[in-house]
Structure 1
Amino acid sequence: MQWKTLVAAGTAVAALCLAGCGASNGADKPSSSEPSADWFPTAVTVWPKQGFDSEGVEQEYSPTDDVSKAWNICASFPHLADAYWLAADYGVIQEAERAGVNMDVLEAGGYGNLDKQIQQIEDCAQNSDAVIIGAISTDGLNPTIEKLKADGKVVIDFINGVSSPDTTAQSLVSYREIASQTAQYLLDTSDGEAVTVAWFPGPKGAGFAEEANKGFTETLAGTNVEVVNTQWGNTDKDSQSKLIEDALAANPDLDYIAGNAPAAEAAGPILRDRDLTDSIGVLSYYMTPGTYSGIQTGSVLASAADPAVLTSRIATDLAIRALEKQDFDLHVAPALQVIDKAALESWDSTTTLAPTDWSAEFSYSAN
């Protein structure tokens, strides 16, 4: 199937915003690591309680400017092995600098290292007023979070999501919804033709991947698009490359590859080497510099834009608001978009991607 001839059918949904898009600063990736104070107000959805089983309300979000002291906050990430979590690192560090609080960033080295993440959180909590958690496991951190709450710590659940009822607040988009919108883009692009897709949700057991799998498969159930191969695995290019090779071997007539951003990035050279670039369309359900470049060059058809920088800034602000005993929303999610080449010109990439010159930073001291 020559999927490039079908791109126009999907363009109508490319600029879809699930909670409003806000103003655009253009499509170029940010090139400076200077702290930005102009990210707000930004369009968000807020929920009256944590989770997604209540009615969300669209509104504008701005961080507090009333910070009484340099609070100590630590942020725990599964890893810093891809550009997505690098954007999250940028977000928490920059917002800590803007607000004038201290921030330490920890990374556990991968989704197989739950015990290491637990130990890192327990260690950093001893000297922190608040902990921001990008969880390796939906359920595995619940006893740790329960203890943090009992010790009077503020706990912010962000990006991946946990099932614990003991977190203070959430800065968390619906991966179920964003993957559903990616699937809808695929449906619109296929224009009713019977097509097949290999699906790469991410690590088994990780909250974001499990929720994305639900949204993607539910949206495609009973449609003309058949998910013929689902491959779970860590979100690094080596792991995803091996899974893509396996999927192509098992499905030689495949029409699409869809999934996590490292899978979309890895697919480009693999398809090029097999002369399949014009035959197999590639989609991602979150944006990285690699998928951004892929859309520009044509190796990626479209990518959802999960605004990792905004999510991380909001998580930091929620922690500060809770520590300051200010009013705060229990669950906040920035606006989502699905981006293809036609939408790049109007998309504000600074919500989602770290600057090109940003390297991982593990601490910021306001003292």
Structure 2
Amino acid sequence: MRSLLAALALLALAGACRAADTWALERWTPPFDYRGTPSEIAYQPLEKARKRWRICASYPHLKDSYWLSVNYGMVRHARKLGIALEIVEAGGYPNLDKQKAQIAGCAKSADALIVGAVSYDGLTPLLVTLSKRMPVIAAVNDIDSAGVVAKSGVSWISMGEAIGHYFAALHPKGSAKVRVAWFPGPKGAGWVGFVEEGFQRGIAGSSAEIVSVKWGDTGFEDQLLLLEDLLEQHPDVDYIIGSAVTADAAVSLLRAKNLTGRIGVLADYFTHGTYRAIKRGKVIAAPTDLPVVQGELAIDQAVRALEGTLAVSHAGPAIRIIDGNNINATDINDSLAPASFKPTFKVE
């Protein structure tokens, strides 16, 4: 068990994601298929765009710091390249119609579209139509590939599997049973089915008994209500595992109920909140998929698609586990936006 935990921890220490002029990424072959084979590449981002392109980027929301970090990466790279960027956000995963309307409006004056979708296939007809006059790039959340020329993202199967394997190292099969509540996220979102698949695969080697599964939007209040229901139904639960927002809400609720330390908390992605909670020992671990870099890469792919130089159509950073053993030795600049950064909706 210790050797596996050590190996997982070392992933977070294995070099910086970026050198001075390259990004260390994983490229997917065949593209657009996370069940394919990733290979390590040294990706050289653009230094300047050939003209002041206009990019529209649509997010599911900006309710947590994960998408704020994606926002930071996009804004930083757009400014570096000298392009214009307009950002819209749908306000949450239930808001498919709102995202459609936002994209339709924003795309009217854009040369390319980047979309972090609220639904795996709910946007497909619109994106296919828009792709006839502009490149469409999928960022972070996986979507149906129809009409899409590039994807910046990681395998959310691997994200779920990473935290599942980490848990299995803590409680391997054959050890004492532990009661686990699992919070996958909102049904229908492009990442949730995949993280669910990976988590179940990873945790299969553990002694976990899943006593409750709670689906819901990744807003703090939504997750807090689900957690309160959980503790009423299963006050003897041993672990809560779910989104970074689930972890944030769990830390607050467990503190209020004097349950901190009795119930363990793990997250299946990494944000400012999980960073602070891991440092304080309130959250055990979380995988990071370097959302800052994913945002930068999506911008780079969009500009390359416009300029006819797109050679890497599907790539993303390697996933790393962050826990209390390595957090103080881990460079988090590619995972988290600076504390001073505020949501930015336009780069002129």
For Structure 1 versus Structure 2, the TM-score category normalised by the shorter chain is over 0.9
Instruction: Provide Cα deviations, 1:303-341, integer angstroms capped at 9, x if missing partner.
Output: 111211100000000001111101421210111111101
How far apart, CA to CA, are the structure 2 residues paired with 1:66 and 1:363?
18
Aligned length: 345
Conserved? CA contact 1:75–1:106, under 8 Å: yes
Aligned to 1:292: 275
Please give the secondary structure, in 2, of the residue aligned with 1:12: helix
Query: Given residue 101 of structure 1, which amino acid in structure 2 is its aligned partner?
Result: I
How far apart, CA to CA, are the structure 2 residues paired with 1:209 and 1:255?
23
Shift of 1:347: 1.3
Aligned to 1:60: 42
How far apart, CA to CA, are the structure 2 residues paired with 1:39 and 1:77?
29
Change (3 A) 1:222 1:294: closer
Deviating more after overlay: 45-54 vs 204-213: 45-54
Aligned to 1:78: 60
Conserved? CA contact 1:9–1:188, under 8 Å: no
Q: For residues 49-128 of structure 1, what are the structure 2 equivalents within 5 Å?
A: 49-65=31-47, 67-128=49-110
How far apart, CA to CA, are the structure 2 residues paired with 1:178 and 1:53?
13
Q: Paired residue for 1:258, among 229, 233, 241?
A: 241
How far apart, CA to CA, are the structure 2 residues paired with 1:309 and 1:322?
20
Aligned to 1:147: 129
After the TM superposition, which segments of 4 or more aligned residues of structure 1 sit over 3 Å from their partners?
A: 8-11, 37-40
Shift of 1:269: 2.1
Aligned to 1:240: 223
Change (3 A) 1:39 1:245: farther
Aligned to 2:214: 231
Shift of 1:42: 2.3
Q: Paired residue for 1:15, among 2, 9, 18?
A: 9
Shift of 1:73: 0.3
2:190 paired with 1:207: yes
Query: Given residue 219 of structure 2, which amino acid in structure 1 is its aligned partner?
Result: D
Structure 2 residues not aligned, in runs of 5+: none
Conserved? CA contact 1:84–1:353, under 8 Å: yes
Aligned to 1:32: none
Aligned to 2:329: 346
Query: Given residue 318 of structure 1, which amino acid in structure 2 is its aligned partner?
Result: Q
Please give the secondary structure, in 1, of the residue aligned with 2:70: helix
How far apart, CA to CA, are the structure 2 residues paired with 1:82 and 1:55?
31
Instruction: Provide Cα deviations, 1:78-122, integer angstroms capped at 9, x if missing partner.
Output: 111111111111111111001111111101111111111111111
Conserved? CA contact 1:76–1:132, under 8 Å: yes
Shift of 1:40: 4.7
Aligned to 2:148: 167
TM-score (norm: length of structure 2): 0.94
Q: For residues 170-185 of structure 1, what are the structure 2 equivalents within 5 Å?
A: 170-185=151-166
Instruction: Provide Cα deviations, 1:221-256, integer angstroms capped at 9, x if missing partner.
Output: 364112211101111111111111111222222111
Shift of 1:23: 2.4
Aligned to 1:31: none
Change (3 A) 1:16 1:258: farther
2:126 paired with 1:132: no
2:327 paired with 1:333: no
**Bigger relative contact order, structure 1 or 2, given CA contacts below 8 A and separation 6+?**
1
Shift of 1:53: 2.9
How far apart, CA to CA, are the structure 2 residues paired with 1:328 and 1:103?
22
How far apart, CA to CA, are the structure 1 residues paired with 2:331 and 2:205?
35
Conserved? CA contact 2:168–2:202, under 8 Å: no
TM-score (norm: length of structure 1): 0.89
Identity of aligned residues (%): 39
Query: Given residue 23 of structure 1, which amino acid in structure 2 is its aligned partner?
Result: A
Please give the secondary structure, in 1, of the residue aligned with 2:109: coil
How far apart, CA to CA, are the structure 1 residues paired with 2:169 and 2:43?
32
Instruction: Provide Cα deviations, 1:149-201, integer angstroms capped at 9, x if missing partner.
Output: 12x21100011111132201000111110111101111111243321211111
How far apart, CA to CA, are the structure 2 residues paired with 1:65 and 1:361?
22
How far apart, CA to CA, are the structure 2 residues paired with 1:198 and 1:206?
20
Aligned to 2:171: 190
Q: Paired residue for 2:285, among 278, 281, 302?
A: 302
Shift of 1:272: 1.9
Shift of 1:61: 1.6
Deviating more after overlay: 168-177 vs 344-353: 344-353
Shift of 1:271: 1.3
Deviating more after overlay: 268-277 vs 109-118: 268-277
